[in-house]
Each structure stands twice: as structure tokens, then as C-alpha cells.
Chains A and B, each alone.
Chain A
Amino acid sequence: MKPLLEVKNLKVKLDDKLIHKDLSFSVFEGETLTILGPNGSGKSVLLKSILGIMPFQGKIIWNKKVTIGYLPQGLNQQSVKNMPLDVKDFFDIKKNVQKTVEIIEALEMVGLDSSFLSKNIYKLSGGQFQRMLIAWVLVDKPSVVFLDEPTTGIDIGGGENLYSLLHKLQEKEKLTIILVTHDINVVYRYSTHVLCLSQKRHSCFGKPKIILTPDMLESIFGMEIKYYQHKNKIQ
């Protein structure tokens, strides 16, 4: 079986600074690939290159027609602070105009209901806003979802809920997820594969339990990392 996405010998420069060099990996349909690395290792840049927002050299091949959902890192309540938008408005500004029924369906999928439609997005709690964003990404039923640190700005409990929610949705909707995070526990729990990036342009790719050894983590993050490896997946 061919992978859904193949990245071969990727080279990305940002303002003449080399961010990625000779980066190769692949993602199969229905998998969760986590891109792990410290700040400045080029995780978001890599996502943007795959999404076609940033220029690159090398090959990025999609072996099947895909529809993409994208949640960038900086999209948070602060970025919509001055916008008089209710939840329905926020869904309406997506390119493919949604029917209200579809919006409600997406909201219910993430544990919100139709009463949220008329709520101002700035008045939602951090957790509710993050759930709404997930619904927003999923509303037009994408086949591949790119999530760039989706738990930034919400507490640990909220983050846990979000990942377990995503995992459930993935099984239900047959989603392929490409996730950027620096939360190692998430990698063990939910990722099929992990791509680790370091500031020194080292990279590794493989199944988390095999490649994420303490030595490897130290070389990625540049310090000893304490972590807890979960034996069982949370259902």
C-alpha cells in the first residue's frame, strides 16, 4: 500500500536561514503523525511547507486527492479579540459555506450544542473555544487534519480532553492527523509515528516506542527529559 503523503529530501529556507535539510518521511491514511521538537526546530515551518504556504525544495507527494483542515498555532481567542463574531459567524467565514445543520453536527461532535451558535467567540471559556476550533476544522469533513499545538493556552486537563476527543473522532471519521506538539506524553498515547526535529537539524522518524529513547530525547531537546510512558492507550 502506498503512503498517503510522501515527503522526500525536503529543504526549506526561511530568510536565508536553513530550517530543514534532507527531511524524508511518509504518512499512511488514518495515521497520526506527531511532529515533536523544541521551539525553533521548524515544526510549524514544516507544516506550512506541506500545506503549500511556504516555498521548499524536494518533493511533497500526495498519492490521493485529499481535503485539508488546518488549525494554525496562533489562532486563539486573542487573535479574534476585536472581532464581533458569534460562533455561527466564525463558521460562516470558512471558504466552503456551511449549512447550520452541519455546524450543529460538528459542534455536537466536540461536546458543544446548538445554543453555542449565537455566543460571542470571545466570551467562550478557553476549553470551549478550543473545542469549537476543532469543530471548525472538522466541519467540512476534511480527510487530513493539520493541528499546530492545539492545546496552547489551555490547562493540562483541557489538553488531555482535547487529545482524547481527537483520538475518538479519528477512529470515527477515519481521519489522518498531522500534529505538532512538544508534549511527549501525547506522542506515546496517540501517535502512530513520530517525526522529531531538533534545533541542530537532526531528525528521526519512526514508531514512538521504538525511536523515542531517553538518549534520543536528550539529543532533540538538548537536556534530560523526564516522561512517563503509558502502557495502555486510553479509550
Chain B
Amino acid sequence: MNLQLTISLISGLLISSVSAYLGTLMLSKRMSVVAGPLAHLAFPGVALAIIYDFSFAFGVFPFVIIGAIMIWFLERKTKLPMENLTAVIFAIGVGTSLLFLPIAKAEEALVGSIMQISVWESLMVFVLSLLVFVTVRYIYKTMMLINIYEDIAEAQKINISLYNLVYLLSIAVIVAMGVYLVGGLITVASIAIPAGASRNLSKSLSEYKFFAVLFSCIGTTFGILISLVCNLPTGPLIVVSNAVIFLLSLVYKMSRKY
């Protein structure tokens, strides 16, 4: 196996497994859908990077992370659901940028592809994925409690706002990294689909997390390998592989019902 394929595969597996792990938490909070809008917040940043000629990374990460902080801030002030606020921030961010910035150009420029990732970039994926994994693992159970019943967490003197901030920042880092390095589609799909498939057949929390990560790894591996064999784009094939797994989980679920 050549070096490029190896680092592409490893980076893909790292990002997709951490995304799936985080995705299980996001599904429980009914927030699977927010990854897409958050990913789009990167485009104004990239457009600015094109105009002023600086690294795309400095465009992508600040915009997505500031977007996440804005969502957190507005949630504290308005108590609206985070999922609604994500749509608000996305619409305002991208909408206003469209007036002044070459967003379409940014979208074209930002086709982070997992098959062209460099060794240094894959190291960055390793470090950030590990960081997000450790963080999410730390907040997981408390976030579940908050999701189930916020008042109980509050009565236990848990700083809910801080947990929400850490949670949103974890999503922002994974999404920004996904958009910049491997293509936003892979991250968005890895957050939403494996968690859903796993939910279809899990009876416990450990099963739920395990199957989500496993499905995501299988989807990514198949996607990359099929794209090599058939010479087709990798991102969409990873999504299709995940979709097939989701369908299989659905069949399993329905077969148990009847």
C-alpha cells in the first residue's frame, strides 16, 4: 500500500470515527443536522482568504468556531433550541457574506480531498481528532444527563452552559477540520448516518457508541477503496457506503419488529 493511500485511510478513519462518536451525542440532542450549516460557515472565511491571500486554515477554523460560540451565546440568552440557532447563524453568516464575497469561488477552492492529504495535515488530523475524542469522552455522560433532563443536572450544580460550550466547540473543530482537510461531506455524513444506523439496533449506550464508530470506519474504508478501484470521487462514495449500512440497519430493525 502506498504512503498516500495509507495516510488518507488513517486520516479518514480518525475523522470519521470521532465524528460518529460525537454524532451519537448529537443525535441524542437532536442536533445531527447542525454539522452541515456549520460547515458552510467556513466559506465566508475561505472567501476572505482568497481575497486577502492568506492560508485557508485561518479562514476556516475561526469562522466555524466563532459560529459555534455565537450559537452558544444566543442559546444562553434566548433559550431557543441550538438546532434553530445554528440555522439562524448559518443563514446570517452565509447570507451576508454572499453580498460582498465570492462564496461560489470559495466553494470551488475548498474541495478538501482526503486523497490529497499531506503527512503534516494528517498529523494535524491525528492531534485534533484525539483532542476532540478525549473531550467528548469526558463530557459524554453529563451531556446525556443534560439531554434527558436539564433540571436534574442543574440541581446537581452542573455548569450546563460550560458543558454546552465545550460540546459546541468539539463539533466546530471536527467540522472545520473536515471541511478543510478531507471534505465537509465526509464529516457531515459521518456525524449523522452511523449514529442513526447504530440507534436502529442498539439496546445500550456502549453498543450505540461502538456500532456508530464501527459503521463509520467500515463506511469510510469501503468508500475510499471503491473510489480507488472505480476511479470515482471519494467523498460521495463514503456517503453512499454509509447509506448502505444505514439501509441494512433499517432492514434489521424492521425484521425484528415483525
Contact = CB atoms under 8 A, between A and B. Distances in A.
Q: Do A and B bind each other?
A: yes
Interface of A: 48, 51-53, 68, 70, 72, 74-75, 79-80, 82-86, 88-89, 92-95, 118, 120, 146
B145 interface: yes
Interface string B133-164: 00000000110110111011111111000000
B28 A95 contact: no
B199 A84 contact: yes
A79 B149 contact: yes
Contact of B152 (A70, A82, A92): A70
> Among A53, A83, A84, A86, which residue has the most Cβ atoms of chain B within 10 A?
A84
B204 interface: yes
Contacts, number: 68
A46 to B, nearest CB: 13
A24 B144 CA distance: 36
Q: Which range contains the number of B residues in contact with the other chain?
A: 20 to 34
Nearest to A140: B156
A88 to B, nearest CB: 8
B202 interface: yes
B83 to A, nearest CB: 14
A92 B158 CA distance: 16
Given A52-B157, A95-B142, 8 more contacts: A51-B155, A68-B155, A70-B155, A72-B152, A80-B148, A84-B198, A92-B205, A95-B158
Interface string B229-253: 0000000000000000000000000
A95 B149 contact: no
8 contacts: A51-B155, A52-B155, A53-B154, A85-B144, A86-B204, A86-B205, A95-B145, A95-B153
Contacts of A95: 142, 145, 153, 156, 158
B148 A79 contact: yes
A74 B149 contact: yes
A95 B141 CA distance: 8
A47 B17 CA distance: 42
B203 interface: yes
B12 to A, nearest CB: 26
What 10 A-B pairs have minimum CB-CB distances, sorted nearest first?
A: A89-B205, A86-B204, A84-B202, A84-B208, A70-B155, A93-B141, A93-B145, A51-B155, A95-B156, A53-B154
A171 B208 CA distance: 40
Nearest to A44: B151
A156 to B, nearest CB: 25
A83 B144 contact: yes
A89 B19 CA distance: 22
Given A74-B149, A79-B148, A93-B142, A118 B204 contact: yes
Interface string B203-222: 11111100000000000000
